[in-house]
Structure 1
Amino acid sequence: MKNLQEATERICELQGSLIASDALFSAFLEAWLPATRDTLARSFEMHTDAARTVMLNTAVSDSALAAFERDVARMRAVLAEPAPTQAPLEPRHAIEPVLLATTHIRTYAGSQLSTSASGFFFRRDDRLFLVTNLHVFADEPSGHFPDRVEIELHTDTSDLTQYATFSIPLYGNGIALWRQATDTAGSVDIAAIEIQSDRLPERTMLQAFDTSHLAPQGEDVVIGDNLTVIGFPLGFHDTVHHLAVARSASIASAYGVRFQQQGYFLTDARTHRGSSGSPVLRRRSGVQSRDSLLPWQLLGVHSTRMDMRTRDLAQDESLGLNCAWYADVLMVLTRPA
């Protein structure tokens, strides 16, 4: 009786193992490409014929042979089924919305391309602004005075390769149209220019930060915190889908303290020209959402690299530190006139 019970338990175990193997086999089939499935089907037929020949020439019961043929027929039917198709995700769900909140900026003097930079969108009530560094719009030391900028805007929710170039004049009747600010230390290297929403290309698809992204929402921001800088270093980006790239960074000076009494803090990151105007972001730990801008806290706007004039270029590496102007100045730059 004991041997019969053990045999029954063993048969049940084998049945469970076979069912689990079937489930794994089906999962593999769904993951494989059609060409791989075809190759597997041909290989299966070859090995099935070999196994059948062996079974017919050995002492195998008719029950075992019948079970073999039954399972072969079942597996052959599974292999013949068409591969399941999955509807592609819409781009607005397939990519981080924060990438649609940043844009590539090109500055022009007339028809002459001057520089390349980064920027992002900020919404205050029903008004939309393009934010970047002040020195992108005007920089007296370098003699940089463009009269307009061009940005790229996505126009198709299902095809990110579709975009429109949108031109924004920097002057009206000889007067600068952007907004800038000063503090006790002088000029702040952040500027915002309002975008007339009714002039945007049809079906424009963009995201924008707002005042809620400036608030800490009860979380402490401290030195060493991980940051993300999203922009267009050296103009580099996904030129097919017109999307920015992200660089990792960290807070390198006391956050909340004006470094050297200037309106910025320091970040530790590898940055390049063209990153000017990039949003400096911190992912909030208490908010988990891939489909919105909610997880991001806008801490600053990347400006320039920080270095020592006394550094020996032959012996000392660059500090790898950068200036990020505190983003709370946007509350001043975007308030109603």
Structure 2
Amino acid sequence: MLEASRAEASPLTGQVLQRSCPLLSRPPTWGEAAPTADSAQGEPFLEPVSAEHAELQRQGAKAAARGEAQASNPMLETINKPGATGETEQVWVDRRDAWDRGHDAQQRPMAAVPRPPDGSEANERDHDEALFGVTRILTFAGTKALTSASGFFFERDGRLFLVTSRHVLFDAPTGHAPDRIEIKLHTDARNLTELTTLSILLHRDGLTAWSEARDSAGEVDVAVLEIDRTELPVDYIVRPFGPEHLPIGFDLFEVGDRLAIPGFPLGFFDTVHQLPVVRQASIASWYGVRFQGLGYFLTDARMHRGSSGSPVLARVESAFSGRARWCLLGVHSSRMDMSTRDAALDDSLGLNCAWYADVLLTLTSSASDDHS
């Protein structure tokens, strides 16, 4: 079973002890069918009566994610109607309705993404989470700079969280143990050179300030750190992701689908405007199946150090205003390579681990419980 936890440092041994609570949502284990409902929304597809109808539902959901109208249902084309196929009217109606159900179900949770009021007609790019929801994370031990990584903001029930890879905040094998991090926030949408630096301590009263997760296979390389809004400047600009950005279930995306991973690889970014760069990627393993039994799927992209903690996104080509333009599929962790590869003779595979993003529902829930 997957669990979310808050790590507690033992003052005597330095070992990490875990306080745990049940995980609310997880990707399927090996051999399980991918669920068809978003755990955050509780709005399932109607149960398909056949594999054909299940596929039609999935195609309808994908069409909605691309911003296509319900009138694009292929069953409405003359070639697919009873007069052309020779099948009964009922068979055609069932197929048409299966596609419509998938289309309707995908539209519900992606609707009405709130935008911060600013009293002006801001450029739509100012609301892009891939630009203003992603931040560079610098780690420190006292005044000594350690590493540079990536992270992103996630908002739930009015609480704001910073998400990154757990190994960015603590990594026992390498002895990486920073005591604080720094991030920069924009303070003027029209002048992106106006920034403020926020310093965040990683330990409070002997406890780590972040929440992390583990499952039956071990630790999940994702951590969330709640940000105290009272410490933020009044005019800060952040466009966080949220539960509405999570896709329905795990059957909306498939191998080969295109992805975007914004971040700060090798510390490279727009240093003037403090904006990330984006690597193109694709889904490289069955989305919805835990790769090798672990809580992640694979992406195919050229990634580098400094990208750990980046959001793994699928673009939603939507023609409807007010709808999220991104689906948040995962959290980039690290490059994956075969232990049998000869570093001198064999090229890197270019494959990466992305932990399923639905773990954020549990981590942000447990964070709320810890502070209640």
**Structure 1 length normalisation: TM-score?**
0.70
C-alpha distance 93-319 of structure 1, shift in aligned 2 (>3 A): closer
Match of 1:315 in 2: 345
- CA deviations 1:186-207 (Å, max 9, x no partner) are 1100000000111102310110
Distance of 1:217 and 1:257 partners within structure 2? 12
* Residues in 1 aligned to 2:238 and 2:207: alpha-carbon distance in whole angstroms: 28
The one of 142, 149, 152 equivalent to 1:120 is 152
Matched, 1:106 2:138: yes
Consecutive unaligned residues of structure 2, counting only runs of 5 or more, are 1-120
Separation in structure 2 between the aligned mates of residue 144 and residue 217 of structure 1, nearest angstrom: 35
Letter in 1 for 2:159: R
Whether the 8 Å contact between 1:91 and 1:160 is mirrored in structure 2 is: no
Taking the TM superposition and a 5 Å limit, the aligned residue runs for 1:62-73 are none
User: Which residue of structure 1 aligns with residue 242 of structure 2?
Assistant: 210
Deviations 1:77-134 (A, max 9, x none): xxxxxxxxxxxx9566467342000000000010111100000000011100000000
Q: 2:162 maps to what in 1?
A: 130
Alignment of 1:168-187 (within 5 A): 168-187=200-219
- CA–CA distance in 2 between the matches of 1:309 and 1:248? 25
CA 1:218–1:328 in 2, change beyond 3 Å: closer, same or farther? closer
Identity %: 55
Contact 2:251 2:287 (8 Å CA) reproduced: no
The SS at the match of 2:299 is strand
1:244 paired residue among 276, 284, 301: 276
Equivalent-residue separation in structure 2 for 1:168 and 1:293 (angstroms): 32
Instruction: Tell me the residue number matched to 2:308.
Output: 276
**Residue of structure 1 in register with 2:128 after alignment:** 96
With over 3 angstroms needed to count, the CA separation of the structure-2 counterparts of 1:91 and 1:232, relative to structure 1, is farther
* Corresponding position of 1:194: 226
1:295 to 314, 319, 325: 325
User: Would the alpha carbon gap of residues 292 and 195 (structure 1) be closer, same or farther in structure 2, given more than 3 Å must change?
Assistant: farther
Paired residues of 2:183 and 2:199 also in contact (CA < 8 A)? yes
Partner in structure 1 of residue 362 of structure 2: 332
Instruction: Please report how far the alpha carbon of residue 150 of structure 1 lies from its aligned counterpart in structure 2 after TM superposition.
Output: 0.4
Is the 1:117–1:232 contact (alpha carbons within 8 Å) kept by the matching residues of 2? yes
Distance 1:117 1:292, change over 3 A: farther
Structure 1 position 152, deviation (Å): 0.7
Which has the larger displacement, 139-148 or 212-221?
212-221
Partners of 1:292 and 1:232 in 2: how far apart? 28
Structure ID, larger Rg: 1
Q: Report runs of 4+ in structure 1 exceeding 3 Å deviation.
A: 89-97
Displacement of 1:215 after TM fit?
2.7
Match of 1:304 in 2: 334
In structure 2, relative to structure 1, the CA distance for the partners of 1:292 and 1:113 (3 Å cut) is farther
In structure 2, the CA distance between the partners of 1:166 and 1:292, relative to structure 1 (3 Å rule), is: farther
Shift of 1:157: 1.9
Q: Offset of 1:219 from its aligned partner?
A: 7.0
| Structure 2 counterpart of 1:299, one-letter code | L
Whichever residue aligns with residue 323 of structure 1, its letter is C
Two-structure CA RMSD over aligned residues (Å):
1.9
SS in 2 for 1:141: helix
Q: Aligned partners of 1:121 and 1:206: how far apart in 2?
A: 8
Aligned to 1:223: 255
Which has the higher mean CA deviation after the structures are superposed, 216-225 or 176-185? Answer: 216-225
Question: Which residue of structure 2 lines up, in the alignment, with residue 153 of structure 1?
Answer: 185
Q: CA deviation at 1:301?
A: 0.4
Deviation at 1:184, TM superposition (A): 1.1
Cα contact 1:216–1:297 (8 A) shared by 2: no
Q: Distance in 2 between matches of 1:327 and 1:209?
A: 11
Higher helix share: 1
For 1:319, the aligned partner's letter is L
Q: For the Cα contact (< 8 Å) 2:186–2:194, is it kept in 1?
A: yes
1:155 maps to amino acid: T
CA distance in 1, matches of 2:216, 2:306: 28
- What residue number does 1:36 align with? none
Residue 144 (structure 1) aligned with residue 176 (structure 2): yes
Letter in 2 for 1:207: R
Unpaired segments of 5 or more residues in structure 1?
Answer: 1-88
List aligned pairs for 1:48-59, cutoff 5 A. none
SS in 1 for 2:148: strand
